[in-house]
Structure 1
Amino acid sequence: MNEIKIFCPATIANLSCGFDVLGLCLDTAGDEMIIKKSNTKGVRINKIVGADLPLETENNVAGVSLLAMLEEVEADFGFEIEIYKNIKAGSGIGSSAASSAGAVFGANELLGKPFTRKELIKFAMQGEKLASGNAHADNVAPALLGGFTLVRSSNPLDVIRIESPEELFATVIHPQIELKTSDARSVLKKTVSLKSAITQWGNVGGLVAGLYTKDYDLIGRSLHDEIIEPIRSLLIPGFNLIKNSALENGALGAGISGSGPSIFSLCRGNEIAQKIAAGMGKIYDDLDVPYEIHVSKINPDGIKIISTNP
């Protein structure tokens, strides 16, 4: 094939207790990308629609990720990229990850799949490093692999994919403000107490166990952040009101999506997810905060191919 069009899904990272190590893939929100072969070697970003982002390859997360991949594979042709952004930058649902993961996935397909999806993660992480200053995998991993992912180690990279329980739904509300990942990281403490660390470790283990055993109550008990949320929540308008509304409407748990400002909840079933969405929306309507809401099952596939051209 000479051209591929793909859907690059939004993601939720951290999942309360799993800072920089846990993430999940959404199914109803995401970008689209078109990647074409070019007779001229190298990487060119020809078009970005929906966002004011740099076209220069070295300054764009998609370009940087693909350049990293091309350092490890011989290609006798180049690539041209078009990005159609539906995930707003700084939204907390993996905007940079969608572009980073999409670029390497699409190019890998055009190259005849020299790398597995899991092997593509390390290249996409370079885009995340450009965006936030930190080469984290908790968004790009679920974008590429689907379902839930656990980053056991970043160096060496060790990522475990976890199937989602069938009835698990996510509701995400995005107040229309931008909160850069680099800024959200800057407010975090460099050390934590042993007591807080022990609580967090227990919740990470409980959440992973709950996913494997499909124990929704255990999932809910484990969606608690002892370390990051108390600090970052201060940057998000109406956070406690939104979280309490979600819990009152049947959420298993709720917290900050990625670095914010989006707020997520997980629940059992679409009916409860829609009820949570309505409650969240009412809070921001009352506060006169503009917002977007996404309700989604967990995407089991990650990036999806929309079409190809020979």
Structure 2
Amino acid sequence: MREAAPRPLTVPLVLAAAALTFAAMALMTFVWWTASPIVGRLYAAVRIAESAGLWLFTGWGRYFTTVPAGEPFAFLSIFKSSVPFGVAASFATAAIGILAYRKRSTRHLDVVLGTPKGGFTAATILREMVPVLPHASIQAAPAPGAGVSAPNTAPTPAAASPNPFGAVRDLRDNVAVSQAQASLSWPEAAALALLLDAIAPVVDRSRPEALLKAAWKAARRVPADRPAPPTAMEQATIQAALTQAMSELTERSVPDLERAHEAVAVAGSTHDVAAALSRIAQSCGRLRVTDFAWLFTVDPLLHTEIVTAQ
């Protein structure tokens, strides 16, 4: 004969907990009824301590501190005076719970390392690895039943823009430089600004750091099939950084900047400018190819011109 399944203990435990709770409340009520002159003083001390003395300025604070010693307190006084603290504690507990839930939902390891939408595929894994391994190419998933891989869906290399700075008479002219760079794409402008800063670093490092951050953000938003422009603030950050890197003279190496200006003035295209500046930066020992990893996802040819400079 099959034995009967054990009865769940949930209901008896709940009933037992409720009975103990009501018994404890009855006991505390009896203690308050019989010993309120002593318990009231202790209660007032606790309230004053936990409110850093602010409770003394409330009506209940004045009541509990003005009753003569040895006199009993009103029976309902302890219950009514506890209502504001209970409400405040409830809101604080709810706020902490909401913050904890949001953190658990967005920053917990189970979420960060969880399965992405659509599952783990070669494309999703490589897309996450591109910032670290810029030479990795994202391949499209093969069609069902196909025996070969689909063609590479990496972004189409952008054509090099004509060098707009060859016609600028003085590259230290902020207005002329700002007007000339209007014809550049944002990856070209950002790459040239980083190369110029590598050759002759500016003293204020906040702008190059903001430029690199804006470039990474814009590159991560680029879909696999079409480039997306950066936001207006990112575009302004990139343009301001290029203008500063080309024309700022404060505490910079003027000879190195002059070499950069000569290369910029004679190059035929922006890719030629990038290659020439990369060689100068490499000769100065300040070319950091990791600063240009973001460029591979938006302009692979320009990225190649920089990282293969000799």
Judging by fraction of residues, say which structure has more helix: 2
- Which protein has greater RCO, CA pairs closer than 8 Å, 6+ apart? 1
Normalising by structure 2, what TM-score? 0.21
Normalising by structure 1, what TM-score? 0.21
Judging by fraction of residues, say which structure has more strand: 1
